[in-house]
A and B are shown apart, each in its own frame.
Chain A
Amino acid sequence: EAGVTQFPSHSVIEKGQTVTLRCDPISGHDNLYWYRRVMGKEIKFLLHFVKESKQDESGMPNNRFLAERTGGTYSTLKVQPAELEDSGVYFCASSPAGLPTGKLFFGSGTQLSVL
């Protein structure tokens, strides 16, 4: 069974540019999460999709960040325009529907560097 896939694995962009990260969750997983880890700090929650609907987007830093999950399959996270403080590792995670255990399956992450 394929795991959670994220790409690109690395992205280096200049301040003011746009970057789009993609996440393919495990097939059949209704729950999809985006997290971010900045400079060795905690893995911080960004938002949660249930199928194509945003269940909780309380962690999104500001309106420069836009997440979508068309058709309830893969998800994209766009940062426009990127700022220096957006640098970090962006993780996507998924979990099956109706599984209240909190077990998350993580992708390998996208290392974003904004110069």
Chain B
Amino acid sequence: QQQVKQSPQSLIVQKGGISIINCAYENTAFDYFPWYQQFPGKGPALLIAIRPDVSEKKEGRFTISFNKSAKQFSLHIMDSQPGDSATYFCAARDAGKSTFGDGTTLTVKP
């Protein structure tokens, strides 16, 4: 059973639009929820992260919304740019081990 479920699998957004990627989890022991961004040929790189005692975290155009009761969290990319085109992974950490979602391939059209 997959512990972190991510959707959608792929997403196409026009430049300037809002990109939204959602994740849901089951394990209530998760205590740290990062998002990673991966460009082709590169490894995933930490983009932004949140702890479960906070409902929202914003860094520039990137915002994480966290709903502890629903066990869901999402990444919002405002004013999406072609340079944001990449694969995005949500993750959740428990006891030093991170569990990842399947990834979302984002394409931002100029």
Q: Which residues of A contact B (CB under 8 A)?
A: 4, 31, 33, 35, 37, 40-45, 48, 55-56, 91, 93, 100-109
Contact = CB atoms under 8 A, between A and B. Distances in A.
B54 interface: no
Given A48-B96, A101-B32, A108 B41 contact: yes
Interface residues of B, number: 24
Nearest to B32: A102
Interface of B: 2, 4, 6, 32, 34, 36, 41-46, 49, 89, 91, 93, 96-103
A106 B43 CA distance: 5
Contacts of B45: 106
Nearest to B34: A102
B98 A109 contact: no
A35 B89 CA distance: 14
Contacts of A108: 41-43
B97 A56 contact: yes
B49 A102 contact: yes
A53 to B, nearest CB: 13
26 contacts: A4-B43, A31-B96, A33-B98, A37-B103, A42-B2, A42-B4, A42-B100, A42-B101, A43-B103, A48-B96, A55-B96, A91-B43, A93-B43, A101-B32, A102-B34, A102-B49, A102-B91, A102-B93, A102-B98, A103-B34, A103-B46, A104-B36, A105-B46, A106-B36, A106-B43, A106-B45
